[in-house]
Structure 1
């Protein structure tokens, strides 16, 4: 992941964009602190619109109420540990 000081990123903006596209996210720092990240548009779209959040994922599960799931009423079997 590339890292750019803000002033350098401003001066070489085309290069920052090219690297974001070719190599992945580029981090921009100001006074040594990470303040922004530049990512390729395809990555942004995947993150913003691709996968549902966890709650939506759970809600999209199939309806299992139609399944006939039963547990046996037989007593639990005994296991002989001594022998």
Structure 2
């Protein structure tokens, strides 16, 4: 009987840990101030640790060229014109 209760409490603790970890370290949370690229969009992590679109590269430049978001080495993002070979993708 004790081993059955022990297993049950262990299972409850495991489920509680699974629910606790994503809210604490969560994949959906980001470090405030960091940037990322999402297709043609540049996104910035807001102070509430949620991603917010700052710029859509194709709406920023009023030309017929297609633009894409490029991650730079200094953890920043930039809008760059797509090369001719990339248009079909």
TM-score of the superposed pair, with normalisation by structure 1: 0.31
TM-score under structure 2 normalisation? 0.29
Choose between structure 1 and 2: higher helix proportion. 1
Between Structure 1 and Structure 2, which shows a larger proportion of strand residues? 2
Larger CA Rg, structure 1 vs 2: 1
